[in-house]
Structure 1
Amino acid sequence: MKKIFYCLTAALAMAFASCSDWTEPEAKQMTRYNNTEIAKTETYYKALRDWKKTKHSITFGWYGGWSDPAASTANMLSGIPDSMDVVSLWDGATNLSEGKRKDLEFVQKVKGTKIVMCSFTKWVGDGVTPAEYNESTEKRHEFWGWKDGDQESKEAAVRKYAQAFLDTIAKYNYDGFDIDYEPHYGYGGELASSQDLMKVFILEFAKELGPMSPNPEKLLIVDGEPEFLHTELGPYLSYFVIQAYRESESGLDGRLNKGINKFKSVLDEETITNRYVMTENLESAMDCLAGGYTFRKRDGRAASYKSLEGFARWQPLNGYLKGGCGGYHFDGEAANTPAYKWMRNAIQVMNPAVIK
């Protein structure tokens, strides 16, 4: 979807002949070109980047199966919808080949899409401990400096762990970090199940990422169960990404109200709403290709559209701009015809293109 792009002044009269080229809805272009990336004009890409800097509800998604460049962009970041705002890498975020580095740079610099690294953080070292130290809990603790019964050593280990991620983010120039925090859904552990240590962990990231850092354009995201964090951490987070899988319209209302009640002492209601992103589970190939599941409106009736579109249509009852919507493993829709047709539709529903 190409959003609010304008031919503004007489000084741009020479560009008028090409305006239709960059205001044509992206979905129409991709119907023709399917899943092979096409070279679009710099006028189009600049308008796309400029639009992403405006205040709007974002489109977010977890992306898996990132591969090296090929004739088809089906497994490349370049092939995802241009108007995606934030993509969280579910896997393959380290040891990048030159081809993947160029793919990453293209979507960041040309399309203006923010690409963040994602990881579970059940225990200190989860996801980044060198293999030779990851054979046992004892060896892992030794590597990170964690000592049971010694709170000071634990906090130092947590900070060292956060810095390991920050080093990787800096190495590949990612746009931030997405902490998959689900302590009550099978992903608890010595770190994730400790609110106090999670506070140390997040505050270490917040020195370089998030709205309270010197680099607020670098995102610090918590997905899953942010309502179980210490309340005072709210202002440090760029987005609260909620796994509102198979929720109804009233269910989404409830998820937002839970966040408002949790963080209202440290953030105003509008800011909380602006940072709340509701996501659907698209891991099932069949449901992903169909646009999600049955979606029920506030009156309990089934909508005529599936849940991904329902999440895009949902508007908070308080009247404030929602953070956005998105999906887990939306990459499964690369195989759709046209590619990503339901995600593109959700983007258009949430942020309708204005063609001028």
Structure 2
Amino acid sequence: MNIVNKKIYLALAVAALIGSASCTKISPLDVDDEAQAELLKRDTKKWAAEADSLAKNKADSAAITAENARLREIYLADLREYKKTKHTVMFGWFAAWNPSSPDKTFHLDNLPDSVDFISNWGGAWNLDEKRIEEFKRLHEKGTRMTVGWIIENVGDGGIKAPEGGWSDDPYKAIDQYAKAIADSVAKYNYDGIDIDYEPSFASPFKAGNHCGDWPEQGGSWAKKRPIISCSMDSNKQYENFFFTKMREYLPKEKMMNINGSIDWIDPKVTSLFNYFVFQSYNNTPGRWRSAARSVMRANSKITADQFIYTEGFQNNPTNANGFSRYVDFAKANNAGGIGAFHINEDYLYSGYNNVKNAIKALNPPMDK
């Protein structure tokens, strides 16, 4: 058989197969159309009920969310009003604030809601978005945050010099410095300044105490631009000028607090401050009573409720767990408040229970 005949044969065979298949009879399935309609009707009702239930669940969830938000706003408003009332305050230095840290010790969000105000101890400027947002949430609770550092010379605290640099004239430079601090406080929405004033404390960073780096006789003031006197009762003109300008540049609602060598402050300027904070660490608040009395004697406008006594929590759970002693002291001496250095470390020790219990003891909830 030649190639042409083979092709003809194959074509005829394929055609025969197709014809055979097309003649095959296919029996339709015996489907009960009425039963199918009933099933569809049943399922349609079920689907509609499920859709209604889902819609109701969504509506209920939205209503619950809205109600929770409403109650939250009421709670926050009550909290803010409470902090405006006359009461014994809770204060603390908040160390190493960092909402990006996996360790929640450094998150402001975990601070007890009833803490009145804190001082940001470290990382004050150039706040990133996470810090800005967490700071906003802190303010929603009515909790204020000041910023502070040890002040000795013009420029301390990472404050940038103005264009052209700090003046070589003492009063001009100090004025520039005070204005720059106030501008930075406003820029980052801090609630004031916490001046770390420690001329009676030895400095671990240099010879002598935490006071200005004064020139030797005949030397230039402009070399270090010192502000804080190294004497308890003399050479106060520059620091007094600084305190005065600082208060002048800060809006009235902003706090100006001072901590450290409280009894070294010139009585002429004590009226400029909102609170005086004693570093009465290691259960030593009693040692500072005479300093408080001295300040009040020298200026009759100063009252006992402007003094805050603080414990040191840094690396010291024993101090934190004994915080109730400061509650007793504050009550016995009509103190303005109590607080702690590294207050956020109480989160590590007790989940802030020491701070919370102290607040409750100082300001017991009123029965409604």
Same fold (TM over 0.5): yes
- Which one of the candidate residues 165, 186, 206 is aligned to 2:247? 206
What is the letter of the counterpart of residue 123 of structure 1? N
Q: How big is the shift at 1:163?
A: 1.3
CA change 1:250–1:332 in 2 (3 A) is closer
Is this contact kept in 2: 1:123–1:192, CA < 8 A? yes
State the distance in 2 between where 1:248 and 1:74 align: 26
Is this contact kept in 2: 1:249–1:310, CA < 8 A? no
Structure number with the bigger relative contact order (C-alpha 8 A, sep ≥ 6) is 1
Partner of 1:175: 191
Equivalent residues in 2 for 1:84-123, closer than 5 Å: 84-108=115-139, 110-123=140-153
Q: How big is the shift at 1:261?
A: 2.5
- Given the two structures, how large is their TM-score scaled by the length of structure 1? 0.71
Partner of 1:220: 256
What is the letter of the counterpart of residue 333 of structure 1? D
- Which one of the candidate residues 257, 265, 282 is aligned to 1:246? 282
Mapped pair 1:256 → 2:278: no
Secondary structure at the counterpart of residue 206 of structure 1? helix
What is the letter of the counterpart of residue 166 of structure 2? W
State the distance in 2 between where 1:123 and 1:201 align: 11
Deviations 1:147-175 (A, max 9, x none): xxxxxx11111111111111110101110
What is the letter of the counterpart of residue 153 of structure 2? W
Is this contact kept in 1: 2:285–2:309, CA < 8 A? no
Q: How big is the shift at 1:61?
A: 0.4
Partner of 1:327: 340
State the distance in 1 between where 2:200 and 2:180 align: 25
State the distance in 2 between where 1:232 and 1:181 align: 16
Partner of 1:125: 155
State the distance in 2 between where 1:65 and 1:120 align: 16
RMSD across aligned positions (CA): 2.8
Q: How big is the shift at 1:341?
A: 1.1
Is this contact kept in 1: 2:330–2:336, CA < 8 A? no
Equivalent residues in 2 for 1:27-66, closer than 5 Å: 41-66=72-97
What is the letter of the counterpart of residue 195 of structure 1? K
Q: How big is the shift at 1:251?
A: 2.9
Deviations 1:251-308 (A, max 9, x none): 35334323223323xx1xxx421211111111124335x42xxxxxxxxxxxxxx2x2
State the distance in 2 between where 1:157 and 1:95 align: 23
Between structures 1 and 2, the one with greater helix share: 2
Q: How big is the shift at 1:220?
A: 0.4
Is this contact kept in 1: 2:278–2:288, CA < 8 A? no
Secondary structure at the counterpart of residue 221 of structure 1? strand
Is this contact kept in 2: 1:259–1:272, CA < 8 A? no
Percentage of matched positions with identical amino acids: 28
Secondary structure at the counterpart of residue 345 of structure 1? helix
Deviations 1:12-63 (A, max 9, x none): xxxxxxxxx99xxxxxxxxxxxxxxx99722211111110000111111001
Larger Rg: 2
Gaps of 5+ in 1: 1-20, 23-37, 134-139, 147-152, 210-214, 292-305
CA change 1:234–1:249 in 2 (3 A) is closer
CA change 1:79–1:56 in 2 (3 A) is same
Partner of 1:312: 327
Partner of 2:47: none
Gaps of 5+ in 2: 1-66, 203-209, 213-225, 230-234
State the distance in 2 between where 1:62 and 1:231 align: 26
Deviations 1:84-104 (A, max 9, x none): 111000111111001100111
Q: How big is the shift at 1:317?
A: 5.9
CA change 1:225–1:159 in 2 (3 A) is same
CA change 1:314–1:191 in 2 (3 A) is same
Partner of 2:173: 157
- Which one of the candidate residues 165, 180, 183 is aligned to 1:143? 165
CA change 1:231–1:330 in 2 (3 A) is same
State the distance in 2 between where 1:39 and 1:107 align: 18
CA change 1:342–1:183 in 2 (3 A) is same
CA change 1:62–1:344 in 2 (3 A) is same
CA change 1:205–1:349 in 2 (3 A) is same
CA change 1:111–1:73 in 2 (3 A) is farther
Is this contact kept in 2: 1:183–1:192, CA < 8 A? yes
